[in-house]
Amino acid sequence: MPLYRRLPKRGFSNVRHTISYHPVNLDTLNEFESGATVDAETLISAGLANGKANGGVKILGRGKIDKKLTVKAHAFSKTAKEAIEAAGGNCELIVSAAEKSSTESQ
């Protein structure tokens, strides 16, 4: 067996620095009443998001939203943010502890 195959593989791995979000689509937000405030805890208690996502919740733009909601999440896609604001709602960004520590160290 050649030497390069016997040696252990080493190098850079970006796994430690990635943030994984639990995706939630717009069409699932129609489950809530108009004027409600929807945050990560509300989504987890409703069964729409998994509580194990270490990066938080990201709202994605699949589907249509018909209700005026105040949505608090860790990340938004561009189309989701536009759709929520077009329906008369608000998008509020939650800053996680990992993001705070990375911005403070820079």
Give the whole-angstrom CA distance, residue 41 versus residue 6.
49
Q: What is the pLDDT of residue 7?
A: 92
Q: What domains can you pick out in the chain, each with its CATH number?
A: 20-97 (3.100.10.10)
Q: What is the pLDDT of residue 60?
A: 93
Per-residue pLDDT of the chain (106 residues; tens, 9 = 90+): 999 999 998 888 888 888 888 899 999 998 899 889 998 888 888 888 876 667 789 999 999 998 899 999 999 999 999 999 999 999 999 886 655 665 665 5
Q: Is the dihedral of CA 15, 18, 24, 25 positive or negative?
A: negative
Confirm whether pTM is higher than 0.85.
Answer: no
